[in-house]
Amino acid sequence: MAGRGLPMMQPQIILLKEGTDSSQGRNQLLSNINACLAVVDTVRSTLGPRGMDKLIVDEKGEVTISNDGATIMKLLDVVHPAAKTLVDIARSQDAEVGDGTTSVVLLAGELLKEVKGYIEDGVNPQVIIKGYRKAAQLAINKIKEIAVKIERTDDVQFRDLLLKCAGTAMSSKLIRSHKEFFTNMVVDAVLKLDQEELNEKLIGIKRIPGGGMEDSLLVNGVAFKKTFSYAGFEQQPKSFKNPKILSLNVELELKAEKDNAEVRIEDVSEYQSIVDAEWTIIYSKLEAIVNTGAKVVLSRLPIGDLATQYFADRDIFCAGRVPAEDLNRVVKAVGGSIQTTVSNVEEKHLGTCDYFEEKQIGGERFNIFEGCPATKSCTLILRGGAEQFIAEVERSLHDAIMIVKRCIKNNLIVAGGGATEMEISKYLREHSRTIEGKQQMIIGAFARALEIIPRQLCDNAGFDATDILNNLRMKHAQGALWYGVDINTESIVDNYEKFVWEPVLVKTNAIAAASEAACLILSVDETVRNPASEKPQSGPPMPRGGAQRSFRGRGRGIPR
């Protein structure tokens, strides 16, 4: 019985399904931070030119070797609900900018690590969130203020800028030893696109195992692997100048009747008329195609042996079962449109190109369309030893292509190698001294977190990080804006003068995404995990009436 003057304890009512796991409070917040730091430790060693690669084996046994942050995060199969936030920001950075995916994960983890002690000391997470949002906005504004704008007045100078930015993006990749070869290839590929649209999907990438990396080539047009061919294909011409190209989604072969098809006839001669009708239909289609004047016929659906021989006799090239992605790129490049019927095909439905050729590249044959007038397009054909190696080259080139694209659209650049992060860190540290209260500590923590980028670059290269960071702090305090880590000489250098350049968008997007992720994780103080749904029991089928007995007493009208 409660004593006089003491309030009676109210019973706690929890309206959750039995078996629900609920964790809350400061311990839950610290647990979420620890989970994120564990994920960050996985990708930490991949940052920079001396970063290591990760070998990941999925549940199917497929092997991936990569040091691309977004690829690693995607393949890690993170199950912790809070740590999945880091996977999301890596993907968003990859989709928006294309590079800086490892940096954004590292930065988010360091932001959480810096305030872990404050959480343990009882600082309210909302105070930290407020300070981080303020610091992130100050940092982004400062980056835009110090950024250097490259005017596109001289095409040669502008191309040189693109080469420098692409080279910086590749310096941390597997292909850094062939950086000069691939930077030229990437810049040429992006400059071949329509400069207003800059649709990177019009840059096709094909992989051919075998040969060396420098056997890779850039095709000024669309190229795709030779499709399955029937008898008669070898008699077809394999090259044309200024051909008309017809793209179809039509099947051009005699098909066996379906199992449930039924045709009733009363006379044997009627059977022959049915067979003749099938041949008449396909011949009328083939004749209609020939009458269009097309010299190259592509179809998403099969083109059979009858059609192949028919086209060969009339000096027409055909390819069936063309992958949808390749056929769409061809149509965008050569013009015209994909037809679902061969009736009423007009001149406007046909495309054209300067030159078509079927060509042997390595161990594969490729169909190549060059000089496409409708939309500028190109194809990168990559060579190399192992399949996993070529796949990593493709991921590296994708990052570089996205960086060059961003440079063309936003011609603001900053120096890389940790120079920008050190300058912003100095700026925030000075700003924090002008304010009072807890916000001074929080903004100071944000400033310290930014130093993780140059520190990790040093650690991955085997340098003395403490010594190099002290030298960088001294240089930036003296007003040396672009001093960062020099990987080649194990010292510090003006990275702007050394042409280690990155688009502003890489830095601003990374800081914004990392701070938002950190604030999101700090704002969670409870995790409610629903129990897994019970699987139905296996066994003999339920007898009649079993459903009624299983719901006994749960509803009106159900017999006991």
pLDDT tens for the chain, residues 1 to 560: 444 555 555 555 555 455 444 566 778 888 889 989 999 998 999 988 888 888 888 888 888 888 888 888 888 888 888 888 889 898 888 888 888 889 999 999 999 999 999 998 888 999 999 999 999 999 999 999 999 887 777 778 888 888 888 888 888 777 888 888 888 889 888 888 877 777 788 888 888 888 888 888 888 888 888 888 887 788 888 888 888 899 888 888 776 555 556 777 777 777 778 777 878 888 888 888 888 888 899 998 888 888 888 888 888 898 888 888 888 888 888 888 888 888 888 888 888 888 899 888 878 888 888 888 767 788 888 888 778 888 888 888 888 888 888 888 888 889 988 999 999 999 999 999 998 888 999 999 999 999 999 999 999 989 999 999 999 999 999 988 899 998 888 899 998 888 888 889 889 999 999 999 999 999 888 777 666 654 444 444 444 444 333 333 444 344 43
Token pair, residue 205, equals 């990438």
Predicted model pTM: 0.76
SS (H, E, C) 438-491: HHHHHHHHHHHHHCHHHHHHHHHHCCCHHHHHHHHHHHHHCCCCCEEEECCCCE
Residues of the chain with CATH 3.30.260.10: 155-205+382-410
Active-site residues: which are they?
Answer: 68, 101-102, 399
Cα 130-134-140 angle, rounded to 5 deg:
145
CATH superfamily of 222-257+273-374: GroEL (3.50.7.10)
Q: Is the domain defined by 155-205+382-410 classed in CATH 3.30.260.10?
A: yes
C-alpha span between 133 and 145 (Å, rounded): 18
Calculate the CA dihedral of residues 459, 462, 463, 469 and round it to 10 degrees: 0
Q: Is the domain defined by 21-149+415-527 classed in CATH 2.60.40.1180?
A: no
Residues of the chain with CATH 1.10.560.10: 21-149+415-527
Residues of the chain with CATH 3.50.7.10: 222-257+273-374
Position of tokens 């100050």? 138
The percent of the chain in helix, strand and coil, each rounded to the nearest 5, is 50, 15, 35
Write down the number of H helices and E strands in the chain.
17, 21
